[in-house]
Structures are given as structure tokens and as C-alpha cells.
Amino acid sequence: MMMGETPPGGAPELPPRSRPPSGPPGDEPLGSRPPFPPVNTPPNNPMSRGPTNKKEEGKDWLSHVPTVFLWLLLVLMLAGIGVAIGLNIGPFVKMASLMLGKDQGQASSFPVISWLMSTLKVGAAYVVGITWYAISQALELAPTLLTASDKRTLRMINAVLDRSPLQISGGESTEMRWLKNKYNNRPIASIQFFRACRLFVYTMELVICWITHPPVQGSPVDFVIALATLNFSEIDWGNVGITLSVLFLVEILVRIVLHIIAHIHADRELAKAEKEGAR
């Protein structure tokens, strides 16, 4: 009788099964044990990367603190520039009002005309003062802004070094020497001009502040005497602060803003280089 056939009057014969090993588990030969099935772990499974390092996550979060601080400091400096401009316009407006003169006496008998002329005078003083201050600040900040970019500064330096200067001899006419000097200094002529303008603006602002907000009652000699004799009670320190603000505050804040922007740009370039290097 062949395997699988049903004997007469009985159940079909089943194929023989392999007997389990008689010994304890682990005693069977290595080749007889089935291998463990492979575990397909998804790449995004946290278990495939090991346990999460909370300290590294904290460091990644802390790495953004300098950037946030720089942006916050930049916003504060820009707000400070706006406040400083609003304060520094005052002496220029007052000086423009003094230059426009007083109202006409004959118009005082007509209230409407007097009010109209007074309003026009105030408006003209503000327009003249604001325009005057804007031009002064532009000339004062020009050397700083023109040399703020390293690439532009290097380009100007290379232009000066690559330019072949013209030789100037003593026997030439004054006009020829002036023209040659003009040609030789042309690459940096704008910087020289604006540096000279900045010195003029400093002097003009000092005079304006002395007229509109004098630190002492009297002449500049009285101010020097008060400082030399340590008689600080005669000095109006509020007016001294206004003078220093008009002279230097906006320029200092602009320099700080430029340094912050340069630092932010350097951080971006460094992060970009790190990303490209990681690829």
C-alpha cells in the first residue's frame, strides 16, 4: 500500500513527522536551528538611531540664542536711531526759527493774519530744520557708510594701487599740478571730500548747539573756566547732553548697527559653508 492511500476500513495514513529533539533546548547543532527573521526597522524609527540625547537637543536650541539676541539688538539700535533723530532735530528747528526772524509787528493788530503768519513760520522752521539736519547727517555718515562693505573698500584700494600716478614736477604750472593731483587722487577723492565735510558738519553742529542750547550763560571762555575751576553748578548738563547727542549719538548707533549686520552675515555664511560641507 502506498503512502496517502486509504486502507480498507480505516483512516488514511499520515506522513511521518520529525520527532522533537530529546535533549534540552540549545543542544541541537547550529545548522539545525532556523535563523532569526530579519527585522525591517524604518529609517525614521527612533529605535534605529538609539536613545534621544536631550543634551544635544538643548545645545541645538541654545545655538539659536546668539542669532535671536543679535536680531533683537538690531531692532533696539534701529529704534534708538529713530529716537535720537527725533531729539537731535530740535536744535536745527530752533536755529531755523531764529534765522527766519520774528513776526512782523504790523500784522499783530490782525489776529487771523498774525496766526497765519505764525503758523507758516513754524511750518517753515520745521521744514528747513529737518532738511538741514538730514543733509548734515548724510554728510556726517557718508565716510562710514561708503566704507562699510569690505568688498567695496578692497575695490577702492585695488583701484588706487593699480592706478599709475602721474609724476608732478616743480617746473609745471599750478593748473597742471592741480590737474595731476586731481587725477592721481580720483579713486579716493570721494572719501577725502566726505571726510572734510564731516569735520565741517561737526563744527557747524557745535555752533548750532551753542546758540540754541548753551551749556553756560556766557561765552565759550566761561565754559572753559567753569570746567577748569570745577564749578560744575554753572554748567547746564542737559544742554551738554543734547550737544553730545547731536554730534555723536546717531553715528555711534549706526556703527553699532553695521557691526551687528556684519556679524549676522558672517554667521549665515558660516552656516551655509557647514551645510555644503556636510553634503
Quick one: DSSP state of residue 110?
S
Residues 6+ apart with CB under 8 A from 214: 236, 239
Q: Please check whether residue 33 lies inside any domain of the structure.
A: no
Q: Please check whether residue 217 lies inside any domain of the structure.
A: yes
Model confidence at 132: pLDDT above 50:
yes
Q: Please check whether residue 17 lies inside any domain of the structure.
A: no
Q: Please check whether residue 246 lies inside any domain of the structure.
A: yes
How many distinct structural domains can be found in the chain?
1
50: left (phi over 0), alpha (psi -120 to 50) or beta: left
Sign of CA dihedral 68, 69, 72, 78: negative
CB-based burial of residue 208 (10 Å sphere; 0-12 exposed, 13-18 middle, 19+ buried)? buried
Distance CA 88, CA 133 (A): 8
Phi and psi angles of residue 158, each rounded to the nearest 5 degrees, phi first: -65, -35
* DSSP 3-state of 12: coil
Rounded to the nearest 10°, the torsion over CA 82, 250, 100, 116 is 0
Distance CA 150, CA 156 (A): 10
- Compute the mean pLDDT over every residue in the chain, rounded to the nearest whole number: 80
Model confidence at 37: pLDDT above 70:
no
Q: Please check whether residue 58 lies inside any domain of the structure.
A: no
Model confidence at 8: pLDDT above 60:
no
Give the residue from 124, 122, 134, 123 showing the smallest Cα distance to 89: 134
Model confidence at 89: pLDDT above 70:
yes
Q: Please check whether residue 8 lies inside any domain of the structure.
A: no
> At CA 262, angle to CA 141 and CA 260, rounded to 5?
75
Task: For 187-225, write each residue's pLDDT tens digit.
Answer: 788 888 999 999 999 999 999 999 999 999 888 888 889
pLDDT confidence band for 28 (50 / 70 / 90)? low
User: Would you state the pLDDT for residue 181?
Assistant: 84
* DSSP 3-state of 227: helix
Q: Which domain holds residue 183?
A: 67-162+172-278
Considering the chain, what percentage of its residues have pLDDT values greater than 70? 75
Q: What's the predicted TM-score (pTM) here?
A: 0.69
